[in-house]
Amino acid sequence: MEKIGIMLDKKVISLNRRRRHTYERLAFYVEIGARLGLETVFFHADQINFATNKIKGYVWRDKKLVPSTFIIPKVIHNRLLSGKKATIFRIKKLEKISQVYNGIVTRNKWRVHKRLWGQDNLRHYIPETKLFRKQAFTDMLNKYSFIYIKPVVGSVGIGVARIERKAEGYFFYSSQTKESFQHVEELVQFVENWIKKKTYIIQQGIPLCKYRDRTFDVRVSIQKNQLHEWKISGMVAKLANPTNKLSNLAQGGRAVQLETVLGSLFATQSIPIIVRRLKAACFAIVEELEQHEPSIADLGLDMGIDRSGLPYFIEANVRDQRYSFFKAGEKAMFYQSYKTPLEYGATLYKKKK
């Protein structure tokens, strides 16, 4: 039986060795792999011995990870997210001897923005975005009633802030901070101190729909299937935390079934049209990203829907944690988000034969 490798974060491995739950459902990989005629094995990049062509990794036994040594699998689904140069070097080396899908993919939001903004057919989906500079910040703040600042590389809402311009002043919201300012100069000084010397982008705020007085975005799991075609495995609404205005579940956002949210906001006959537009935007976006990152096969897109029902791109997550589907009670979507990329991986063995 051929093996399919799942490359994981060290923390995920550590917790699963102690039967602790994480956002990854390792049992799903094993169950789906077995149905596809594959043995699923797990490891971190640091556990690869390139000299012996072996990995001291793990298999799934008795609801936990158990140590096991095996030959480097020919096909590997990368679920590891790391900015460490040594880890990236090892993954790049692995890509030379194995088929690694979702390998080293850019997490740079500015780079992704430029790729999408440069396409005329996509620009209407993309919020105006600039690299953080003092002048660019004040220009964007004067142009829009609210904006976001985000680290160029980041995830789960860490370091993201929303800034609102109102008649009574300026309001700053982040996961741990809420501040108000009378004068723009005070705000600029605060923001510059807050971001320190990190590279940030400034993103136009889109007036999104509200559900029960909370803005929301849509997490779209879009993945390659066994036909090597892009498929949407699930869509779920994420309601913003009313305190920090962020929709990330890690920052207090809440996942809700998309059907429920749209059903409360739009006429029944309009909903299929809105969903069709949203899906079309997602397919167009990933097809462009794939031109620059051929290994991508599993993305979580965050999309917005404005008050007219039109879709907007917010950001692409190269390691979708998928648990928003679980939190929303969308168990079939949750399972499908594991099944589709493994079905894709299984076909890579067939291509090798």
| Averaged pLDDT for residues 215-239 | 96
Q: What is the DSSP letter of 91?
A: H
Q: Do 3-101 and 208-350 have matching folds?
A: no
Specify the higher pLDDT residue, 47 or 157.
Answer: 47
pLDDT on residue 197: 86
Asked whether residue 350 carries a pLDDT value surpassing 80, the answer given is: no
Contact 184, 281 (CB under 8 A): no
| Averaged pLDDT for residues 230-251 | 88
pLDDT on residue 348: 94
**189-204 residue pLDDT tens:** 999 999 988 999 999 9
Asked whether residue 321 carries a pLDDT value surpassing 90, the answer given is: no
User: 22 pLDDT band (50/70/90 cuts)?
Assistant: confident
Closest CA to 275 of 234, 238, 314: 234
Q: Is 154 helix (H, G, I), strand (E, B) or coil?
A: coil
| Averaged pLDDT for residues 98-107 | 92
User: 72 pLDDT band (50/70/90 cuts)?
Assistant: very high
Of the chain, the percentage scoring pLDDT greater than 70 comes to 99
Whose tokens are 């076909």? That residue is 347
Superfamily grouping for domain 208-350: ATP-grasp fold, B domain (3.30.470.20)
pLDDT on residue 351: 64
Asked whether residue 155 carries a pLDDT value surpassing 80, the answer given is: no
Cα distances (angstroms) measured from residue 346 to each of 51, 222, 224, 225, 318:
26, 18, 12, 10, 20
pLDDT on residue 100: 97
What is the phi/psi pair of residue 49, to 5°? -110, 100
Closest CA to 107 of 282, 289, 281, 251: 289
Closest CA to 302 of 224, 237, 208: 237
**324-346 residue pLDDT tens:** 999 999 999 999 999 999 999 99
| Averaged pLDDT for residues 173-185 | 91
Q: Is 234 helix (H, G, I), strand (E, B) or coil?
A: strand
| Averaged pLDDT for residues 206-212 | 93
Q: Is 189 helix (H, G, I), strand (E, B) or coil?
A: helix
Token duo for residue 163: 């800034």
| Averaged pLDDT for residues 14-21 | 88
State the Rg of the chain over Cα. Answer: 21
Specify the higher pLDDT residue, 207 or 244.
Answer: 207
- Cα–Cα distance, 312 to 332 (Å, whole number): 26
User: 36 pLDDT band (50/70/90 cuts)?
Assistant: very high
How long, in residues, is the chain? 353
Closest CA to 318 of 292, 337, 299, 344: 299
pLDDT on residue 352: 56
Asked whether residue 112 carries a pLDDT value surpassing 90, the answer given is: yes
pLDDT on residue 107: 87
The highest-level CATH class for domain 3-101 is alpha beta
- Cα–Cα distance, 82 to 157 (Å, whole number): 16
- Cα–Cα distance, 71 to 73 (Å, whole number): 6
Angle made by CA atoms 154, 159, 163, in degrees to the nearest 5? 125
Contact 283, 274 (CB under 8 A): no
Domains in the chain: boundaries? 3-101, 128-204, 208-350
Closest CA to 338 of 330, 14, 107: 330
Q: Which residues contact 297 (CB under 8 A, 6 or more apart)?
A: 101, 102, 223, 224, 341, 344
Q: What is the mean pLDDT of the chain?
A: 93
| Averaged pLDDT for residues 238-249 | 84
Specify the higher pLDDT residue, 247 or 112.
Answer: 112
Asked whether residue 311 carries a pLDDT value surpassing 80, the answer given is: yes
Which strand ranges, in their side-by-side order, compose the sheet holding 146-151? 129-131, 200-204, 146-151, 161-166, 169-174, 178-181
Token duo for residue 265: 């906001």
